Structure 1
Amino acid sequence: MEDIIFGFYPIINLLKNNPKLFKKIYILNNKKINNKLKEILINIKKYNIPYCKTTRQWLDKKTNNHVHQGILGIIFFKTIKYHKNDIIKIIKKFKKPFILILDRITDPHNLGACIRTAVAAKVNIIILPKHHSSTLNSTVKKVSCGTSETLPIIFVNSLVEIINLLKNNNITIIGADNKSTNTIYNNKIYFPICIIMGSENKGIRPIIKNNCDILLNIPLFNNIDSLNVSVATGIFLFEIIRQNLF
């Protein structure tokens, strides 16, 4: 199957991490050569990726008038069906698994930003529900700067079933909940762990909360009662890293 990815940073990141995914790259006619485009052209030559010039109208139509910066790539992707045993196999590759579950993240911009943050924080695997979740579409790939191709992202039928599976493998389940009286800064968090983040409007579902080992919040001020989920995800993930580095 094929998909598209567009914009300088997503294409550069994917060229660095998985250049074999590219089928072809399209560049705007008379596109001014800058450092980013030079880097892309060097990698196109290095990995022998076909490319051609095209019009702005074609790029606008192909990206549904999104900001494409005059560059678009056609990429191969495989739809992989994972089962419970596959999740455990992936987790067992790591001494201290770091897992992120995203519950009801339906906005592709938010999902893409969460994925990018997770990759930066060295999360090992992302798990999402098959229903009430954004797909990994071109918007997700662009916002994530191509990082959605660099770690396992698994859609499952039942998050509760997967949470119990992780618990049985000695992984602590931590839910983000702005109503909790415990803050992330007052609790020492040790690997292996799984962090669960929910949508900024509804948070994680009650049934998911009930299956967490602990619920933690981020203290907020000035009558702000919630953060964008990608911002909250970054705070949680990097606070955990800070705690385990120092």
Structure 2
Amino acid sequence: MEDIIFGIYPVINLLKNNPKLFKKIYILNNKKITNKIKEIFINIKKYNIPYYEVKKQWLDQKTNNHVHQGILGIIYCKKIKYNQNDIIKIINKFEKPFILMLDKITDPHNFGACIRTAVAANINIIILSKHYSPKLNSTVKKVSCGTSEMLPIIFVNSLIHTINLLKNHNITIIGTDIKSKNIIFDKKIYLPVCIIMGSENKGIRPIIKNNCDMLLSIPLFNNINSLNVSVSTGIFLFEIIRQHLFLK
């Protein structure tokens, strides 16, 4: 199967991390040659990727008028159907799995931003519900800056079933809850762990909260009631990294 990726940074990131995925690249004709465009051309030549110059109207049509920055790539996309057994196979590859679960994150921009944050934090796998999540489409891939190709993203039928599965493999389940009196900075968190993030307005569902080993919050000030989910995700994940690396 084929898919598209567009935008300068998503294309560059994927060229750096997985150039073999590219089938061809399209660049706006008479595109200003910036340092980033030079970098793209260097990689195109290095990996012998076919490229074509096209008009802006063509790129607008192919991207449904999204902000493509004059560049679009056609990539090979292997459609893989995951099941619960695949989750266990994946986490068994790691001594101390670091997992991100997203509950009812329905906005593709938030989803893409969470993916990028997860990759930066070296998350091993992202798990979502099939029923309460956006598809892994071109918008998600652009916002994630191409990082969606860098880790397993698994859609499951039941988050509760998956939580119990993870618990059976000695993985601590931590839910995020703005109402919790337990502050993340006050708790020592040990890997392996699964962090569950919910929507900005409603958070994780009550049924998910009831199946967590612990609920933690971020302290907020000046009458701010919530943060964007990708921002909250970054705070939680990198606090765990800080503890794991520096507070042993």
Aligned twin of 1:16: 16
Separation in 1, partners of 2:189, 2:158: 25
Counterpart residue identity of residue 124, structure 1:
N
**Counterpart secondary structure, 1:13:** helix
SS in 2 for 1:170: coil
Give the aligned CA root-mean-square deviation in angstroms.
0.7
3-state DSSP of counterpart to 2:218: coil
Q: In the alignment, which residue of structure 1 is the partner of 2:142?
A: 142
Match of 1:87, SS state, is: helix
Match of 1:166, as an amino acid?
Answer: L
State the distance in 2 between where 1:83 and 1:60 align: 36
| Structure 1 residue 219, shift from structure 2 partner | 0.6
Listed as ranges, the gaps of 5+ residues in structure 1 are none
The amino acid across from 2:168 in the alignment is: N
**Counterpart residue type for residue 6 of structure 2:** F
- Percent identity, aligned pairs only, is 81
- Equivalent position of 1:78 in the other structure: 78
> Which residue matches 2:199?
199
What amino acid is aligned across from residue 236 of structure 1 in structure 2? F
Q: Look up the match of 1:165.
A: 165
The equivalent residue for 2:243 is 243
How far 1:74 moved relative to its partner?
A: 1.0
Could you report, residue by residue, the CA deviation over 1:71-120 in whole angstroms, capped at 9, with x for unpaired residues? 00111212211121111111011111000001111111000000000000
Structure 2 gap ranges (5+): none
SS of equivalent residue, structure 1 residue 218: coil
Distance 1:181 1:163 in 2: 23
After TM superposition, list the pairs within 5 Å mapping 1:1-246 onto structure 2.
1-246=1-246
**Counterpart residue type for residue 7 of structure 1:** G
Q: CA deviation at 1:209?
A: 0.5
**Counterpart secondary structure, 1:89:** helix
Could you say what secondary structure the match of 2:127 adopts? strand
Matched to 2:20, the amino acid is: K
> Matched residues in 1 for 2:204 and 2:29: separation?
46
Q: C-alpha separation between the residues in 2 aligned to 1:79 and 1:162?
A: 21
Q: CA deviation at 1:23?
A: 1.4
Using the TM superposition, give the Cα deviation of residue 65 of structure 1 relative to its aligned residue in structure 2, in angstroms: 1.4
C-alpha separation in 2, matches of 1:129 and 1:79: 17
- For residues 11-43 of structure 1, the C-alpha deviation after alignment (integer angstroms, 9 at most, x for no partner) is 001111111111110000101111111111111
Shift of 1:201: 1.1
Hey, what's the Cα distance between the residues in 1 that align with 2:163 and 2:50?
Answer: 44
- 1:67 is displaced (CA, Å) by 1.2
What is the TM-score when the length of structure 1 is the normalising length? 0.98
Distance, in Å, in 2 between the alignment partners of 1:103 and 1:2 is 28
Q: Secondary structure at the match of 2:10?
A: helix
Amino acid at match of 1:123: I
Amino acid in structure 1 at the alignment position of 2:4:
I
The amino acid across from 1:8 in the alignment is I
The residue type equivalent to 1:214 in the other structure is M
The one-letter code of the counterpart of 1:3 is D
Count of paired positions: 246
**If the length of structure 2 is used for normalisation, what is the TM-score?**
0.98
TM-aligned CA deviation for residue 61 of structure 1: 1.3
Find the residue that maps to 1:102 and give its secondary structure: strand
